[in-house]
């Protein structure tokens, strides 16, 4: 739930400096609106933990452009990456890639991956997001210079509300 807060905070800073009705003002307002909608959906999901633990999350599939989803995830993690002076490198296919996904969930996954890459990598680290097409499948790869996941934790990475005790060195 913290992920949407970072771009909201950044947008409020922009609002302080923007001229009402100007492009920067409208962009900041749009960011806040989008992120509040994401936060509301996350809160709705967290209110019913039993539904999550039973794998009964409702997906709202729609045709979405990969580049739009990636840009939304970058928008959410941009502040954290900038705060650590990290470099984010994105490599997407040249042609437009359309996916039938739940855009909010897909963005949430990308945001979590990029956020963790930033959180567990040091200052000035490089973070990479690469998307490649292999036949009809999309392969996403996130690379970072972080501490990694402990061997003991690997069997539990998809357990609900589980975190590794390790921290950035």
Q: Which residues are CB-contacts of 42 (< 8 A; sequence separation ≥ 6)?
A: 1, 4, 108
- DSSP 8-state code for residue 137: E
Instruction: Let me know whether 153 and 118 are in one domain.
Output: yes
Instruction: Let me know whether 70 and 48 are in one domain.
Output: no
Residue 169: pLDDT over 50: no
Strands 62-65, 98-101: pairing is: antiparallel
Domain stops at, among 38, 56, 74: 56
Instruction: Let me know whether 39 and 122 are in one domain.
Output: no
Instruction: Let me know whether 48 and 91 are in one domain.
Output: no
* Three-class DSSP category at 98: strand
Q: By percentage, how much of the chain surpasses pLDDT 90?
A: 39
Q: Note the maximum CA span of the chain.
A: 53
117 burial via Cβ count (<10 Å: 0-12, 13-18, 19+): buried
pTM over 0.95: no
Q: Which domain holds residue 4?
A: 1-56
CA distances from 14 to 20, 43, 71 (A): 11, 26, 19
Instruction: Let me know whether 116 and 72 are in one domain.
Output: yes
- DSSP 8-state code for residue 160: T
Instruction: Let me know whether 17 and 91 are in one domain.
Output: no
Query: How would residue 2 be classed by pLDDT, with cut points 50, 70 and 90?
Result: low
Rounded mean pLDDT of 86-115? 93
pLDDT digits (tens, 9 = 90+) for 18-50: 888 888 888 888 888 888 888 887 777 676 566
Query: How would residue 85 be classed by pLDDT, with cut points 50, 70 and 90?
Result: very high
Q: Which residues make beta-bridge pairs with 138?
A: 133
Instruction: Let me know whether 66 and 142 are in one domain.
Output: yes
- Separation CA 90–CA 131 (nearest Å): 8
Instruction: Let me know whether 64 and 147 are in one domain.
Output: yes
With tokens 């999309």, the residue in question is: 138
| CATH code where residue 134 lies | 3.30.565.10
Over its C-alpha atoms, the chain yields an Rg (Å, rounded) of 17
Q: Kindly state the tokens that stand for 49.
A: 């933990």
pLDDT digits (tens, 9 = 90+) for 126-156: 999 999 999 999 999 999 998 888 888 888 8
Domain stops at, among 41, 56, 71: 56
What pLDDT was estimated at residue 114? Answer: 94
Query: How would residue 161 be classed by pLDDT, with cut points 50, 70 and 90?
Result: low
Instruction: Let me know whether 51 and 111 are in one domain.
Output: no
Q: Which residues are CB-contacts of 135 (< 8 A; sequence separation ≥ 6)?
A: none
* Three-class DSSP category at 43: helix
- DSSP 8-state code for residue 24: H
Instruction: Let me know whether 105 and 80 are in one domain.
Output: yes
Instruction: Let me know whether 141 and 71 are in one domain.
Output: yes
Instruction: Let me know whether 42 and 90 are in one domain.
Output: no
How many distinct structural domains can be found in the chain?
Answer: 2
């Amino acid at each position: 739930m913290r992920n949407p807060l970072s771009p909201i905070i950044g947008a409020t800073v922009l609002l302080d400096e923007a001229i009402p009705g100007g492009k920067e003002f409208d962009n900041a307002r749009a960011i806040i609106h989008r992120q509040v909608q994401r936060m509301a959906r996350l809160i709705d999901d967290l209110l019913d933990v039993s539904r999550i633990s039973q794998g009964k999350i409702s997906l709202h599939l729609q045709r979405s452009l990969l580049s739009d989803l990636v840009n939304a995830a970058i928008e959410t993690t941009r502040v954290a990456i900038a705060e650590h002076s990290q470099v984010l490198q994105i490599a997407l296919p040249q042609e437009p890639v359309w996916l039938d996904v739940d855009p909010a969930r897909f963005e949430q996954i990308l945001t979590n991956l990029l956020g963790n890459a930033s959180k567990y990598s040091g200052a000035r680290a490089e973070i990479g997001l690469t998307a490649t097409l292999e036949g009809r499948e999309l392969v996403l790869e996130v690379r970072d210079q972080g501490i990694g996941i402990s061997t003991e934790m690997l069997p539990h990475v998809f357990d609900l509300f589980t975190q590794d005790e390790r921290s950035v060195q």
